[in-house]
Amino acid sequence: MEMGLQECADRIIGNWHLRGISGGEKRRLSIALEILTRPTLLFLDEPTTGLDSASAYFVAQTLRNLAHDAKTVISSIHQPSSEEEVSLSTAEIKATLIEKYRWSEYATTSRERIKEISNMVRSP
């Protein structure tokens, strides 16, 4: 996993009164720590916000690689620059997500529950 954190490996993280690594490094570190737990689903809200283009690239590539390794990655990215572009098109990403969701246990259970509720509403 490449997150561009080698330069800060020997520095303290810091807190509100003790300066440590930068805000961008903290963001990338928190993502890396979550990835180390090997989650089957990773949900990130704007993981590249506030990062420079090189750091955002590291994050985007890492998430892309996770998705290619059969992990589910759901992320919102607000107005990415062309340098943060991932090789998959939006249509390909949507198609992959829809296909994975369509046959998931969650989707099947949800469809069954919606049918049950619909039948309850129709019955007097």
Residues 38 and 1 in one domain: yes
> What digits encode the pLDDT tens for the residues 45-65?
888 888 888 888 888 888 888
Residues 2 and 15 in one domain: yes
Structural domain tally of the chain? 2
| Cα(35)–Cα(49) distance, integer angstroms | 18
Residue 2 sits in a domain whose CATH number is 3.40.50.300
Instruction: Give strand pairing partners of 73.
Output: 42
- Residue 107, domain extent: 88-124
Residue 66 has pLDDT above 50, yes or no: yes
Q: And the tokens for 66?
A: 């996770």
Is the whole-model pTM more than 0.85? no
> What digits encode the pLDDT tens for the residues 89-107?
666 666 677 777 777 777 7
Higher pLDDT, 20 or 81: 20
Residues 104 and 77 in one domain: no
